[in-house]
């Protein structure tokens, strides 16, 4: 670093500023009449001024930080001590004839806490203007309206509000930072106004929300505020009286575009300790924004607490949300967390959608939040995403029938689709994974239902500062943060949608082309079956009580099934020693998942190529960071179950050159199958992890063989298609691209099986259990062959069916037909979802623009209705803001459409009907 060699010069200049002689010639730099002994640290010029001049120059800057020369050094001194008096109620430089001076008035500003002299005006000019209003007109927020002696500047309140949004800094940390700026020695601390600052900040947050939502422009003013009116609503979601086109309700073919997606979840980090109560700390918002109104909510809990069952028998896995509904209390906690409802596609908190939880995720609470927000002008068709939707939805309308009329939906039950978020879905049983899947459900696009999780990530940092607040303070603070989170979404929403649309158009072209190619290949020998599958899937999409075409009827051994079996055994067998919150079997299962993640990352890095973009490299780095964090956490658990591996890792650290970090893909996991030969597994009857890995690896091997067979089938049919229909460069390129993708998957399957086999071999040798080798064998290159001769170069007389087609196939030909059906359904679903996503995104950007126009008109109308000049100016300012947002959204959308490549010949229509009679025939192109 060049700077390192210049440190002495920097230090010299810093010390120079501490000298009086080196910064002045002695006389006042302004008047030259008196000795200049004072300087302002907040001003840029650094002039040395006399007492008279520094007061004169700071009439409009009374909260600057000033120092005075003592004869030996500079010492902090306030402008108030020098004699500056802040005059209110008169123009700058004018004095009041009947002043009321407060000698020690405390002002909290951005660079410290100041004690100043303030002169209130009490002459005839302002005889009816109260002191607190005089302060407000000078952009000072009084701590009280009765003889105020403390205030905060508007700019410090705005700074803390925005800073808390971005950094989640607490009021305590912020205030005491200002106190240290005023005095960092502890010898002369400023007056303690922390409690006053808390009170001012609550008032500021509340009034700013009222101002931004036009309550100062409406006849009813603040008292006329309606429930949920201060909540910023998602402009991309459908709002019947705001952004939907004429005749939308009668458009049966496209009405799915106007469905509202909502996602439900709970957060147990945002708890509140049993501090204060509603009487001493009531909410200012009172249900005006995102939190439900507390009095009505508590009445609901009291009235229906004994009517609504706390627990219903689960037909799915024992999820945390269900299992802990009755047990998840909190010692010393008034609220164990919050439940919330957000828009499922854009991750914005909905009005009247948030409330406290007292004991887990009870239906009684969650019903109230869902029903409260869905009464806010919603369309007749809904998609509700909830991680326990498979259980919660069953008696939802029965429970709703017991609630009062204001908590009943206008939607009919048949118009509501209940689904489980994609990330949470694997934890469910197979039937739920198929019945409640976003991927398999029609007319939902590429929605994943995980919006609440992303929102919680942005607010979890508030947990420490809000858990010790009183009930009203906490609700108002969280309301403010939810509002800012929504606003930040609003201002980038058009950009997000445009970026997603670009990705969706490309993905749609890929997946539609792959589906067409796959169906064309199947059509050669399975045309009747394909027609039957299509009829089956269309029937299920119209009536979900019909058989689900995605559900297998045969039951192979799966890795998830073995995990469940192991978990049940650990629960019932007392001989199994549980030494951590993560059980032994789950510890091994997580290790296998990390092994897979490392392999995927290696493959992704290989695919980057020499001309990868910064964005691609960034995504790889983020992926590596996530894996690294997960591996670190898993290693901590490993220390409990496999303590000797710590010695192996210490050895690895010693061998690694100093300063060299191990890449996440190269961090050894030392699973039992590897650690056995290194002597890093403790033997003994209570150590079950070796057998756990054996059972999980056995299931992994069978799972992988099933995937390998499916991909080999797909390869065979693609080869048939290429042989019969692929003519010309365009079709040849397409066929080769598809084939490359399939072969990549086959290679990955083979590598995964070989890892499983090698691990099985290692642990089985230790356990002396080799019966599994009767059905599983080493996978040689020649074993990876399909059911026909298209991909086999050997002569027919020397061909024999590979062993992979003879093991663990339930149902023979029936099993193969089922595998083909499920793969066809999934391929069709992928193509359909991406087509729907393109349509949904186009509709959403239209709604965004129309919503912005709606807000512009609302504010222009408000400007016409008010007499107060400030209110009119603010309304026009807001109208101009929404107009600029609409213009920006329109420009971004136009730019997006221009940047897209033309539709390909293979996928000629943006809304191609994938279920039209033989539209997929290659001869039709």
pLDDT in tens, 341-396: 999 999 999 999 999 999 888 999 999 999 999 988 899 999 999 999 999 999 99
First to last CA, the chain: 63
Instruction: Give the count of beta carbons closer than 10 Å to the beta carbon of residue 34.
Output: 14
| Helices assigned H by DSSP within 403-552 | 430-435, 451-459, 463-466, 471-542
Mean pLDDT of the chain: 86
Distance CA 279, CA 276 (A): 8
Distance CA 374, CA 412 (A): 13
Distance CA 452, CA 342 (A): 6
Distance CA 393, CA 385 (A): 10
Residues 6 or more apart whose Cβ sits within 8 Å of residue 473: 198, 202, 281
Using a pLDDT cut of 70, give the percent of the chain over it: 87
Q: Please report which confidence band the pLDDT of residue 86 belongs to, taking 50, 70 and 90 as the band edges.
A: very high
| Helices assigned H by DSSP within 130-238 | 131-137, 154-167, 171-182, 194-212
Closest alpha carbon to 408 in 383, 384, 380, 372? 372
Q: Please provide the size of the chain in residues.
A: 925
- Exposed/middle/buried for residue 71 (C-beta within 10 Å: 0-12, 13-18, 19+): exposed
pLDDT in tens, 878-917: 999 999 999 999 999 999 998 887 654 444 455 667 776 5
pLDDT in tens, 263-277: 999 999 999 999 999
Residue 562 has pLDDT above 80, yes or no: no
pLDDT in tens, 583-620: 888 888 889 989 999 998 888 888 776 677 878 888 88
Closest alpha carbon to 224 in 174, 286, 283? 286
Residue 392: both structure tokens together:
């919660």
The number of helix segments (H) and strand segments (E) in the chain equals 25, 15
Q: Looking at per-residue confidence, does 224 or 786 come out higher?
A: 224
Phi, then psi, of 838 in degrees rounded to 5: -60, -45
- Does residue 229 contact residue 285 with C-beta atoms inside 8 Å? no
Between the alpha carbon of residue 604 and those of residues 57, 608, 625, 737, 768, the distances in Å are 63, 7, 14, 17, 38
Between the alpha carbon of residue 18 and those of residues 21, 72, 183, the distances in Å are 9, 10, 18
Phi, then psi, of 250 in degrees rounded to 5: -90, -10
Distance CA 586, CA 564 (A): 10
Residue 843 has pLDDT above 80, yes or no: yes
Distance CA 295, CA 281 (A): 13
Distance CA 347, CA 333 (A): 28
Phi, then psi, of 698 in degrees rounded to 5: -65, -45
Residue 802 has pLDDT above 80, yes or no: no
**pTM higher than 0.85, yes or no?**
no
């Amino acid at each position: 670093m060049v700077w390192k060699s210049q440190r002495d010069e920097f230090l010299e200049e810093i010390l120079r500023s501490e000298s009086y002689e080196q910064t002045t010639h002695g006389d006042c730099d302004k008047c030259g009449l008196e000795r200049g002994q004072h300087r302002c640290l907040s001003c840029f010029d650094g002039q040395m001024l006399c007492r008279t001049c520094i007061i004169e120059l700071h009439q409009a800057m009374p909260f600057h930080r000033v120092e005075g020369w003592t004869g030996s050094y500079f010492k902090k001194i306030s402008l108030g001590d020098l004699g500056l008096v802040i005059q209110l109620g008169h123009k700058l430089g004018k004095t009041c004839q009947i002043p009321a001076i407060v000698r020690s008035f405390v002002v909290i500003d951005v660079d410290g806490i100041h004690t100043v002299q303030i002169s209130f005006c009490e002459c005839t000019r302002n005889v009816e203007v109260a002191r607190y209003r005089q302060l407000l007109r000078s952009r000072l927020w009084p701590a009280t309206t009765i003889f105020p002696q403390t205030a905060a500047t508007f700019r410090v309140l705005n700074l803390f509000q925005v800073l808390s949004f971005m950094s989640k800094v607490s009021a305590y940390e912020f205030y005491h930072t200002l106190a240290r700026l005023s005095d960092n020695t502890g010898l002369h601390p400023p007056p303690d106004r922390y409690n006053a600052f808390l009170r001012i900040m609550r008032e500021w947050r509340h009034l700013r929300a009222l101002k931004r939502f036009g309550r100062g422009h409406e006849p009813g003013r603040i008292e006329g505020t309606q429930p949920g009116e201060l909540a910023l609503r998602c402009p991309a979601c459908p709002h019947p009286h705001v952004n939907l086109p004429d005749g939308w309700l009668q458009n049966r073919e496209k009405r799915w575009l106007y469905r509202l997606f909502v996602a439900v979840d709970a957060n147990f980090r945002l708890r509140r300790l049993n501090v204060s109560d509603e009487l001493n700390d009531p909410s200012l918002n009172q249900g005006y924004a995102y939190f439900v109104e507390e009095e009505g909510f508590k009445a609901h809990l009291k009235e229906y607490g004994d009517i609504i069952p706390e627990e219903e028998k689960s037909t799915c896995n024992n999820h945390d949300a269900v299992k802990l509904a009755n047990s998840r209390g909190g010692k010393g906690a008034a609220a164990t967390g919050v439940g919330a409802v957000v828009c499922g596609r854009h991750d914005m908190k909905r009005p009247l959608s948030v409330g406290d939880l007292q004991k887990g995720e009870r239906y009684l609470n969650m019903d109230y939040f869902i029903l409260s927000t869905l009464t806010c002008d919603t369309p007749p068709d809904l998609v509700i995403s909830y991680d326990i939707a498979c259980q919660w939805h069953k008696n939802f309308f029965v429970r709703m029938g017991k609630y009062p009329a204001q908590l009943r939906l206008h939607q009919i039950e048949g118009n509501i689709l209940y689904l489980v978020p994609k990330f949470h879905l694997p934890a469910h049983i197979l039937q739920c994974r198929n019945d409640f899947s976003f991927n398999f459900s029609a007319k939902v696009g590429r929605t994943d239902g995980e919006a609440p999780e992303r929102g919680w990530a942005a607010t979890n940092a508030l947990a420490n500062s809000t858990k010790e607040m009183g009930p009203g303070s906490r609700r108002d603070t969280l309301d403010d943060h939810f509002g800012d989170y929504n606003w930040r979404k609003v201002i980038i929403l058009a950009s997000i949608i445009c970026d997603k649309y670009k990705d969706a158009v490309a993905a749609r072209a890929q997946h539609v082309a792959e589906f067409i190619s796959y169906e064309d290949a199947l059509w050669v020998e399975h045309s009747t079956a394909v027609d039957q599958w299509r009829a089956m899937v269309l029937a299920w999409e119209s009536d979900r009580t019909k058989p689900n075409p995605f559900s297998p009827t045969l039951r192979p051994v799966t890795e998830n099934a073995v995990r469940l079996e192991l978990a049940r055994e650990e629960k019932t067998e007392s001989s199994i020693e549980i030494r951590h919150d993560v059980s032994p079997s789950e510890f091994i299962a997580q290790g296998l998942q990390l092994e897979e993640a490392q392999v995927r990352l290696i493959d992704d890095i290989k695919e980057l190529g020499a001309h990868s973009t910064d964005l691609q490299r960034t995504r790889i780095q983020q992926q590596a960071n996530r894996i690294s964090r997960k591996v670190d956490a898993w290693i901590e658990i490993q220390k409990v179950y496999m303590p000797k591996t710590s010695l192996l890792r210490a050895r690895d650290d010693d061998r690694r050159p100093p300063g060299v970090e191990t890449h996440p893909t190269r961090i050894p996991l030392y699973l039992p199958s590897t650690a056995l030969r290194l002597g890093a597994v403790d033997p003994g009857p209570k150590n079950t992890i070796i057998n756990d890995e054996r059972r999980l690896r056995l299931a992994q091997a069978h799972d992988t063989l099933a995937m390998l067979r499916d991909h080999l089938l797909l390869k065979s049919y693609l080869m048939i298609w290429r042989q019969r229909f692929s003519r010309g460069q365009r079709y040849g390129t397409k066929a080769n691209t598809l084939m490359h993708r399939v072969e990549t998957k086959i290679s990955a399957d083979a590598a995964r099986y070989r890892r499983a086999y090698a691990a099985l071999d290692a642990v089985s040798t230790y356990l002396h259990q080799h019966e599994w080798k009767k059905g599983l064998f080493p996978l040689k290159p020649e074993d990876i062959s399909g059911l026909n001769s298209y991909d086999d170069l050997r002569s027919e007389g020397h061909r024999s069916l590979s062993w992979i087609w003879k093991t663990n196939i339930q149902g023979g030909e029936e099993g193969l037909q089922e595998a083909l059906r499920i793969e066809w359904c999934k391929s069709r679903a992928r193509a359909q979802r991406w087509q729907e996503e393109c349509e949904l995104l186009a509709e959403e950007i239209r709604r965004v623009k129309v919503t912005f126009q709606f807000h512009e008109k609302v504010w222009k109308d408000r400007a016409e209705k008010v007499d107060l000049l400030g209110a009119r100016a603010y309304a026009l300012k807001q109208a101009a803001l929404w107009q600029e947002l609409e213009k920006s959204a329109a420009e971004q959308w136009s730019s997006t459409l221009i940047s897209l490549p033309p539709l390909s010949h293979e996928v000629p229509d943006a809304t191609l009907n994938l279920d039209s009679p033989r539209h997929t025939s290659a001869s039709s192109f």
